[in-house]
Amino acid sequence: MTEDREVEEKVASILEKAGLALLEFSLSRHRGGLKVKAVIYSPAGTGTEECAKAHRLILPQIQTLLNVQNPDMEISSPGIDRIIRSDREWKAFVGKSVRILSKDSAQWFSGILLSHTEGKIELQHGAERALIEISSIAKARLDSVSKGE
């Protein structure tokens, strides 16, 4: 829905100004109520304080834009082994360790995500750097095992 996308863009903009990235957003209507789900991320760490902050920022937007006073809201962090699904997530996780499974390989490849541009990512593993087409990736996730690299 166009209205839902406009709400998502407004919420993403407000969160960005507060230092938070909106990774995932959904609105679902059921029995006259509204359920809002948002996955947020902060490079400094995403805990209960960041989720509470996001809740305080999102709630008035939902109330105003959709005229729903008491939506059911679920705000969460991406988790330590988040599967990366969107350009928004690639952008947010630059500088983090990721694991990638290529469509033409059976083995996972790990490295530091250096950049994301125009359907490609740059990954560094040790001294090696690789430019990878996102379309060639079968699966990608944050790599919690390599934390601290």
Tens digits of per-residue pLDDT, 94-108?
A: 999 999 999 988 889
Domain with CATH 3.30.300.70 in the chain: 2-76
Extract the tokens encoding 65.
């834009």
| Residue 27 and residue 4 in contact, taking contact as beta carbons nearer than 8 Å | yes
Confirm or reject CATH 3.40.1190.20 for domain 87-146, answering yes or no.
no
**Cβ contact 78:88 at 8 Å:** no
State whether residue 132 is helix, strand or coil: strand
Check residue 122 and give its pLDDT: 95
Report the pLDDT value the prediction gives residue 105, as an integer from 0 to 100.
86
**Angle, helix 2-17 to helix 48-66, in steps of 10 degrees:** 140
- Third-level CATH fold of 2-76: GMP Synthetase; Chain A, domain 3 (3.30.300)
pLDDT in tens, 10-31: 999 999 999 999 999 999 998 8
Spatial separation of the C-alpha atoms in residues 25 and 58, rounded to whole Å = 11
pLDDT at 148 over 60: no
**147 has pLDDT over 70:** no
- Give 26-44 pLDDT, tens digit per residue: 999 988 889 999 999 998 8
Considering the chain, what percentage of its residues have pLDDT values greater than 90? 74
Sheet architecture: strand order including 128-133: 128-133, 120-125, 108-117, 97-102, 137-142
List phi, psi (to 5°) of 82: -55, 130
- Alpha-carbon span 31 to 20, nearest angstrom: 31
CA 101 to chain centre: 19
Nearest to 97 by CA among 86, 78, 110, 108: 110
Q: Where do the CATH 2.30.30.100 domains begin and end in the chain?
A: 87-146
